[in-house]
């Protein structure tokens, strides 16, 4: 992250809003569409001000029909527009799989490279808001399975702004997952223009004894765990891939080779999820350097409960990471 003095502290939500404003001002082909994204400013207020500045021709309030909204976005992207579609809850991406998987992801290949679909789908992930099973899932691994899609999971305001600007300028369809519990989290963001390239992981904390690969909100969990482990003499290196597709394999593998132990933590389900793929990568390419099996930590394999007490039990936490690190370092 930039350490230059010409920066200020803003929330992750503000960082996303700034990126949208700046990219729409820079390129008239950029449009925003979704439910309540116009006058209302979005369900999480992340598109606030766009309607007033750019008008109804470029900020489109759409009916409650996710399949129609994304279909409109895919079509617009094939006709030299750069649409940003907001799907307010990631759970609702189940309604747009044909448009994303069979259309957006395939058009460049099926046209012999003659067409592109520069589409960004912004959506949410993560539990913790007590809004039950149909509004709390982390489904990003679905899209990592599909060639032709790029999948982004920012963990800080700095990353959110830089990665979103890159996504909007990319000629491929990008699924941009934002943890809804992180919109009010603050961090330093430069005042000057910047972007963050895809496929470049960020070492959030340097360590020597164990590698912790963490995504999205789990980066904060991992960093808090690393602070606790440091008081016990265990030096944890925390790495945020930032993008799962494309994936910076080299940084993850090199860290695991250095520390000889690895934990992967992600808020999605562990079964056939991101933790499985990341753990398989490290296990395969750092095999002869590992002193213990790679540990995976993910969401409990149940629908997210409405009860706050039960919901908290399904979300990976700091204590789980600390206990896993103790086991691995002691093995």
Domain of residue 289 covers 202-330
Do 28 and 143 lie in one domain? The reply is yes
DSSP 3-state of 270: coil
Do 216 and 94 lie in one domain? The reply is no
Do 161 and 249 lie in one domain? The reply is no
pLDDT of residue 58: 98
From the list 39, 204, 43, 51, the residue with the least C-alpha distance to 122 is 43
DSSP 3-state of 298: strand
Whichever domain contains 220, its CATH number is 3.40.50.920
How many separate domains does the chain show? Answer: 2
Residue 138 is classified by DSSP as: -
CA 295 to chain CA mean position, Å = 21
Domain final residue pick, 190, 224, 256: 190
Do 105 and 216 lie in one domain? The reply is no
Whether 312 maps to a domain, the answer reads yes
- pLDDT tens digits, 190-235: 999 999 999 999 999 999 999 999 999 999 999 999 999 999 999 9
Question: In this structure, what token pair is assigned to residue 133?
Answer: 């099973």
Per-residue pLDDT of the chain (331 residues; tens, 9 = 90+): 444 569 999 999 999 999 999 999 999 999 999 999 999 999 999 999 999 999 999 999 999 999 999 999 999 999 999 999 999 999 999 999 999 999 999 999 999 999 999 999 999 999 888 888 888 899 999 999 999 999 999 999 999 999 999 999 999 999 999 999 999 999 999 999 999 999 999 999 999 999 999 999 999 999 999 999 999 999 999 999 999 999 999 999 999 999 999 999 999 999 999 999 999 999 999 999 999 999 999 999 999 989 999 999 999 999 999 999 999 998 5
Please give the Cα distance from 119 to 78 (Å, whole number): 9
Whether 180 maps to a domain, the answer reads yes
Domain final residue pick, 168, 190, 212: 190
pLDDT of residue 149: 98
**Torsion over CA: 209, 290, 294, 329 (sign):** negative
Do 185 and 211 lie in one domain? The reply is no
Whether 195 maps to a domain, the answer reads no
Whether 1 maps to a domain, the answer reads no
pLDDT of residue 1: 44
Domain final residue pick, 137, 166, 190: 190
Do 46 and 180 lie in one domain? The reply is yes
- Can 108 be counted among the known catalytic residues? no
Do 162 and 278 lie in one domain? The reply is no
pLDDT of residue 136: 86
Do 177 and 274 lie in one domain? The reply is no
Do 240 and 145 lie in one domain? The reply is no
Whether 73 maps to a domain, the answer reads yes
Whether 196 maps to a domain, the answer reads no
Please give the Cα distance from 329 to 294 (Å, whole number): 12
Do 126 and 255 lie in one domain? The reply is no
Residue of 21, 40, 108, 135 marked catalytic: 135
Do 212 and 184 lie in one domain? The reply is no
pTM for the predicted model, two decimal places: 0.95
DSSP 3-state of 178: strand
Please give the Cα distance from 21 to 35 (Å, whole number): 18
Please give the Cα distance from 287 to 80 (Å, whole number): 46
Whether 284 maps to a domain, the answer reads yes
Whichever domain contains 78, its CATH number is 3.40.50.970
Whether 228 maps to a domain, the answer reads yes
Do 216 and 293 lie in one domain? The reply is yes
Q: Which residues pair with 186 in a beta bridge?
A: 11
């Amino acid at each position: 992250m930039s350490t230059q003095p010409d920066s200020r502290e803003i929330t992750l939500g503000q960082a996303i809003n700034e990126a949208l404003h700046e990219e729409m001002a820079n390129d008239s082909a950029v449009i925003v569409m979704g439910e309540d994204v116009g006058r209302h400013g979005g369900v999480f207020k992340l598109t606030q001000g766009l309607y007033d500045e750019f008008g109804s021709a470029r900020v489109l309030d759409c009916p409650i029909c996710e399949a129609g909204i994304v279909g409109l976005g895919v079509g617009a992207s094939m006709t030299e527009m750069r649409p940003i579609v907001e799907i307010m809850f990631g759970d609702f991406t189940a309604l747009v799989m044909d448009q994303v998987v069979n259309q957006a992801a395939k058009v460049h290949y099926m046209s012999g490279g003659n067409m592109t679909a520069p589409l960004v789908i912004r959506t949410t992930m993560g539990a913790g808001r007590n809004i039950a099973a149909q509004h709390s899932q982390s489904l990003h691994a679905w899209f990592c399975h599909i060639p032709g899609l790029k999948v982004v999971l920012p963990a800080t305001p700095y990353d959110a702004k830089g990665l979103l600007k890159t996504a909007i300028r990319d000629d491929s369809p990008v699924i941009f997952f934002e943890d809804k519990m992180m919109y009010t989290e603050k961090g330093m963001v430069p005042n000057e223009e910047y972007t963050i390239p895809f496929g470049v992981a960020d070492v959030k904390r340097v360590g020597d004894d164990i590698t912790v690969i963490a995504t999205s909100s789990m980066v904060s969990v991992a960093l808090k765990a690393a602070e606790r482990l440091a008081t016990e003499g265990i030096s944890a290196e925390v790495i945020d891939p930032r993008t799962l597709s494309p994936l910076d394999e080299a940084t993850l593998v090199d860290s695991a080779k250095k520390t000889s132990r690895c934990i992967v933590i992600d808020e999605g389900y562990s079964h056939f999820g991101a933790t499985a793929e990341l753990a398989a990568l490290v296990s395969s390419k750092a095999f002869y350097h590992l002193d213990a099996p790679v540990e995976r930590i993910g969401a409990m394999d149940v629908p997210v409960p409405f009860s706050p007490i039960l919901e908290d039990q399904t979300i990976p936490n700091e204590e789980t990471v600390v206990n896993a690190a103790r086991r691995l370092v002691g093995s």
